[in-house]
Amino acid sequence: MNKLSNLDFMKRMAKGLTSQFGRNCEVVIHDLSSGYNDYPILFIENGHVTHRTSHDGPSRIVLDTLKHSSTDVEDKLNYITKTQDGKVLKSSTIYIRDDENKVVGIFSINYDITELTIASNCIDSLISHKDDLQEASKIPQNVNQLLDDLLDESVKKVGKPVPLMSKEEKIEAIQFLNEAGAFLITKSGEKIATFFGISKYSIYNYVEIKNKL
């Protein structure tokens, strides 16, 4: 994406938005075209909102994008996310496309509405959203944190701790991780294998089970 002619414009747009809406507004540009491992943040303004900096790893929305065809993803506007330290953010994700309509980057806006939420009775029209705060996905600070979040989600999906899982339930959990894009994270296979107490060979066998169905 660094070769796109409009990259400078997007950076200026990011600065303009954060200047307009203040220090609670974070704008992030993700590069999906450069081939770098773990798809780092290319540019960020007001990174203190999510405690991230340039070159940190991807968020969940990046992995979701990589798992789908460019024609299947649409901009996602005005949804709720949460930071690791509990801030409530109103977020929007806009996909950057090249001349062939392929997604090559992501332009994200995260606005910290934690304090506004407390006073929501008088400013409801500003912070209204349709998502359940309890179910809001977290924005990780790095890829290790992202993988930990996905592992926690896989356990919740099965509904019991790993030591009590049957082989079929571990298959279900690992297939969830595959669909969520966990295996796109560098060296994730080793950590997932250790987490479930199985070999890396078993992991990829479990993934193949669904592919053969």
Dump pLDDT digits (tens) for 120-169: 666 566 666 666 666 667 788 888 889 999 999 999 999 999 999 999 99
Residue 158 gets the label, from left (phi > 0), alpha (psi -120 to 50) or beta, of: alpha
Full-model pTM? 0.67
- Quote the pLDDT of residue 105: 85
Task: Work out the pLDDT band at 104, boundaries 50, 70, 90.
Answer: confident
CB-based contact 89:111 (threshold 8 Å): yes
CATH (residue range 7-140): 3.30.450.20
Task: Work out the pLDDT band at 6, boundaries 50, 70, 90.
Answer: confident
- Quote the pLDDT of residue 2: 46
**Can you tell me the mean pLDDT for 87-104?**
88
Where do the structural domains in the chain lie, given as residue ranges? 7-140, 146-211
How high is the mean pLDDT of the chain? 84
What separation in angstroms does the CA of 93 have from each of 61, 80, 109?
A: 8, 11, 7
Dump pLDDT digits (tens) for 155-196: 999 999 999 999 999 999 999 999 999 998 888 999 999 999
More confident residue, 96 or 61: 96
Task: Work out the pLDDT band at 49, boundaries 50, 70, 90.
Answer: very high
Q: Where is average pLDDT lowest: 9-18, 152-161, 196-205?
A: 196-205
